Amino acid sequence: MKIQLLRTLALAAASVAFAASLPAAEPAAKAPFTVTRYQSSIDEFLAADKSNPPPKDGILFIGSSIFRQWTDLKNQMSPLPVYNRAFGGSRTVEVLHYADKIVIPYAPKVVVYYCGSNDINADEKPAAIAGHFREFVEKVHAKLPKTKIVYASILRAPQKEKAWKEVNETNKLVSDYCKTDPRLTYVDINGAVFEANGKPREDLYLEDKLHYKPVTYFGFTSILRPVLFHVWESVK
């Protein structure tokens, strides 16, 4: 009995020593997501298009919730022929995925793109985010080679302050890419939500410190509208 007990203790000690020699476990991966998670929103767009189709050759706003919540877009951009197909809390791969359904069939003369904020929150790398935008551009231009695309910069919201470096890097990569093609325009809209001293205007944010109060969209309009008038004149 005594010998058996000693053997048991020795085996237990050996097991502990072996476990201690193993490398630390990798952190659990984030739950995967599917690019079709907002399919219901796309279906709603397509159903609405049957009874009230958007204007052909217009100006399409596409992207994530920052644009989706721009509820007064049509009035603020009047008389420009704008319409909005931003959906959910979309990421760049999702906008790319649905381009065949809610971008290309409309044959817009101008696309205004805001996406990447949710990619940053999901720890996507700047090079990958910029790469997805490039794929979007290539996909659109393969079918609509004359379409102009305006990229609105990812916003440095207080909610993602620890990732502002990644936001800036992504914006820089996209800005540099836009300089390679006259059909692309990069617009920094961060000026609408920052003080002159470089601090964010937190009074413009909802409680989540990520999304914006309606008044903020007047600031976005003041930056984007002149650019869109210029681009529109070049394509109409």
Q: Any residues with CB less than 8 A from the CB of 191 and at least 6 apart, and which?
A: 219, 223
pLDDT band at 9 (very low <50, low <70, confident <90, very high): very low
CATH of the domain at 92: 3.40.50.1110
Residue 3 in domain: no
Place of tokens 């009047």: 78
Residue 41 in domain: no
Percent over 70 (pLDDT), the chain:
86
Give the pLDDT of residue 138: 98
Give the pLDDT of residue 26: 33
| Gyration radius of the chain over CA positions | 24
Residue 144 in domain: yes
State the Cα–Cα distance between residues 218 and 103, nearest whole angstrom.
25
Residue-range definition of the domain harbouring residue 94:
53-235
Distance, first Cα to last Cα, the chain: 94
pLDDT band at 56 (very low <50, low <70, confident <90, very high): confident
pLDDT band at 34 (very low <50, low <70, confident <90, very high): confident
pLDDT band at 32 (very low <50, low <70, confident <90, very high): low
Place of tokens 């020795």: 10
Place of tokens 């599917």: 34
Residue 199 in domain: yes
Residue 189 in domain: yes
Count other C-beta atoms under 10 Å from residue 24's C-beta.
5
- Whether pLDDT at 109 is above 90: yes
Mean predicted confidence (pLDDT) in 219-229: 98
Contact 151, 178 (CB under 8 A): yes
Q: For residue 128, which amino acid is it?
A: A
Give the pLDDT of residue 18: 36
Residue 113 in domain: yes
Please, where are the H alpha helices in 116-163?
Answer: 117-121, 126-143
- CA dihedral (161, 163, 168, 174) in degrees, to 10, reads -130
Q: Any residues with CB less than 8 A from the CB of 224 and at least 6 apart, and which?
A: 77, 112, 150, 152, 187, 189
Residue 130 in domain: yes
**Average pLDDT score over the chain:** 89
Contact 125, 149 (CB under 8 A): no
> What tens digit of pLDDT does each residue of 127-183 get?
999 999 999 999 999 999 999 999 999 999 999 999 999 999 999 999 999 999 999
Number of domains forming the structure of the chain: 1
Mean predicted confidence (pLDDT) in 67-85: 97
Residue 219 in domain: yes
Give the pLDDT of residue 6: 43
- Whether pLDDT at 3 is above 90: no
> What tens digit of pLDDT does each residue of 88-99 get?
999 999 999 999
Percent over 90 (pLDDT), the chain:
83
Name the region of 84 (left: φ>0; alpha: ψ -120 to 50; beta: rest).
beta
